[in-house]
Amino acid sequence: MSRELLDGDDLAALVRKLPAGAIVLAFDVETCAAPGGDARVPDRARIVQIALQAFSGEPLPDVPLDESVVHDADGVAVGYVFASCTYVDPRVKIDAGSQAKHKITDAQVRGAPTVDDLADTLEAWLVVDATEPDPETGEVVRRPVFLCGYNAARYDVPVVLAEMRRAKRDDVASLIAAAPLLDPYLIRQHAESSMSLLGSMQRYGIGDLGGAEHSADADTAGVLAVLAAQAACGHLTQVDDAIKLSTGKAAPPSGAIDPQGKLRWAGDAPPAGGTPTTDNVVINFGTHKGKTLREAGIGMSRWICGKDFGDVVKSTLKQAWGVSARSW
């Protein structure tokens, strides 16, 4: 299913839009709700399945070339692709509503990798060194990595960020928050009008998912196929412009804690252990910009938690203030 959806000519068009050596990491998550929670709320969702599909015009790390190469209609190699799909044990019971949607049961996820294992996998894909060091400086160069997910700016990215924080992997959360996002849903919306993933696949002449909607494996293949088709037809014109559709502005600043960069780490790097405190979290907007939470005062954090800020911002503030934030 995954390889059948990909068109070599479309992927060649995508490569031409990307920086040299760039990796597009397409992903999709299926979730369940924490006990008493709502799976549509990122801070309460738990991942039960994740699919990853990496693509690049240059070979991918630790992926055999003969298993990953993609050709265009003339048989010319245009890039390399790697796909994986795995269940994730959420350590909670999967609610009936979620099971009805994605057909994933408790029995299927028990004993599967946990979010801790998932964090290591994501880190490996988000931090990829170039094969050769910089010819002028001799320094190791990181390959550009672009996240790609359908409507991911609204749901999948916040879910993964929340899961990384629950696993105390703020280092990985910071990498995800800082990674530029290519969201085919927003590109499609910007180019014409909003549609579902299946609708966009039909619009770009890719076909359908063979009845496998809401399967992370199929959805991930579909989202990468749509992104490549958008590059081929001209809806994806400049990668930087597409990223701005996801962020509404430039990429988050260095050390950003949340996708919008409302909070950042003091010193622009996660602390050892990655635990937020009132002294290592800095407000990055408004009249208190540049102040730690302690310097800004608890009233500022309480005010933020009562307003329309993202779940990552609010959960970080509550964790930093600890027992003082129980009633927020």
Tens-place pLDDT, residues 220-239: 988 999 999 999 999 998 99
Tens-place pLDDT, residues 133-161: 777 777 878 899 999 999 998 889 999 99
Tokens standing for residue 313: 């911002």
Across 186-204, average pLDDT: 76
Question: With 80 as the cut, is the pLDDT of residue 194 above it?
Answer: no
Q: How far is C-alpha 92 from the chain's CA centre? A: 23
| CA–CA separation, 267 and 251 (whole Å) | 18
The per-residue pLDDT for 3 is 62
Across 301-326, average pLDDT: 88
- Confidence at 1, pLDDT banded by 50, 70, 90: very low
Tokens standing for residue 168: 């105390």
Across 17-30, average pLDDT: 95
Q: How far is C-alpha 309 from the chain's CA centre? A: 19
Tokens standing for residue 153: 């700016």
Across 57-64, average pLDDT: 87
Tens-place pLDDT, residues 267-285: 888 887 778 999 999 999 8
Place of tokens 């930093």: 320
Percent of the chain with pLDDT over 70: 93
The per-residue pLDDT for 201 is 85
| CA–CA separation, 283 and 264 (whole Å) | 7
Count Cβ atoms below 10 Å from residue 103 Cβ, excluding itself.
11
**Domain spans, the chain:** 3-250, 252-328
Residue 51 burial (C-beta neighbours within 10 Å; 0-12, 13-18, 19+): buried
| CA–CA separation, 148 and 220 (whole Å) | 9
Mean pLDDT of the chain: 86
Task: Give the orientation angle of helix 216-233 with respect to helix 184-191, to 10 degrees.
Answer: 40
Please give the CATH superfamily to which domain 3-250 belongs.
Ribonuclease H-like superfamily/Ribonuclease H (3.30.420.10)
Q: Are 88 and 56 in contact (CB under 8 A)?
A: no
Angstrom distances, CA of residue 248 to CA of 103, 140, 260, 268: 35, 31, 9, 22
Question: With 50 as the cut, is the pLDDT of residue 44 above it?
Answer: yes
State residue 302 phi and psi, 5-degree precision.
-65, -40
The per-residue pLDDT for 143 is 93
Place of tokens 């060194």: 129
Secondary structure element (H or E) that encloses residue 109, with its range: helix 106-109
| CA–CA separation, 23 and 60 (whole Å) | 8
Tens-place pLDDT, residues 246-265: 775 445 667 889 877 899 99
